Amino acid sequence: MSEDNSNNTHFGYKTVEAEKKADLVADVFHSVAAKYDIMNDVMSFGIHRLWKRHTIEVAAARPGMSILDLAGGTGDLTAKFSRIVGNTGSVVIADINDSMLKVGRTKLRDRGIVNNVSYVQANAEALPFPDNHFDIITIAFGLRNVTDKDAALRSMRRVLKPGGKLLVLEFSKPKHEVMRKVYDLYSFKVLPKMGAMITQDADSYEYLAESIRMHPDQETLKQMMIDAGLEQVDYTNMTDGVVALHRGYKF
């Protein structure tokens, strides 16, 4: 799903050498990190908060649990999980991009979230954690930026505890044609202009729009999760399928 052949992969609509994609994605997020939260609110009209709230509800975390917030960015999910798991639990926020982690660390510490959160710079394809380690893993709006998605899903399954749950929150394919047309118009005409105004970086938001279109649709991602060894995989569409929350378990 992630590669054209053994050497090439997609970076938006471009075909690039697979080994170079991580650096190209890193450049995008280095560029937008400082204003990432502002852009999320503006470009989703604040709806991303509802998508993430639903993810927290489905996660059903409890005090004492160990949670990995992968591609955690600026820490929106980590902040919620930290309060839920309490002092007897722990949350790891992991991201391949150090600029995003720095913004997240500053934001969470400013909110007084310190004791049960740790920060790890990590590649989702080869997570630096022991087998059977986390009760819950979430990856929100990050999987589409991973070079080898299949390897990443296998890596996530490996570090889940038996009975553990993986939640993948990601942009997907709208169900209805009218919504698809409106969404395309917004993504390719409006979004880059917002990026130019707010972050002075239209190119990064053009890539983000393209990366959404290149990401597997709901059924394809469901099968990828099954192929990675996850069980009882299902998904919920939100906002007509603009976003989907996939859920799978390790048994």
Binding residues for S-adenosyl-L-methionine: 74, 95, 123-124
How far is residue 76 CA from its own chain's centroid?
11
Is-contact 39 103, C-beta < 8 A?
A: no
Sign of the Cα torsion 197, 203, 205, 206 reads positive
Place of tokens 């820490």: 75
Pick out the residues of the known binding site: 74, 95, 123-124
Note every long-range contact of 102-107, with CB atoms under 8 Å and residues 24 or more positions apart, other chains counting: 102/33, 103/33, 103/34, 103/36, 103/37, 103/73, 103/74, 104/72, 104/73, 104/74, 104/75, 104/78, 105/75, 107/37, 107/74, 107/75, 107/79
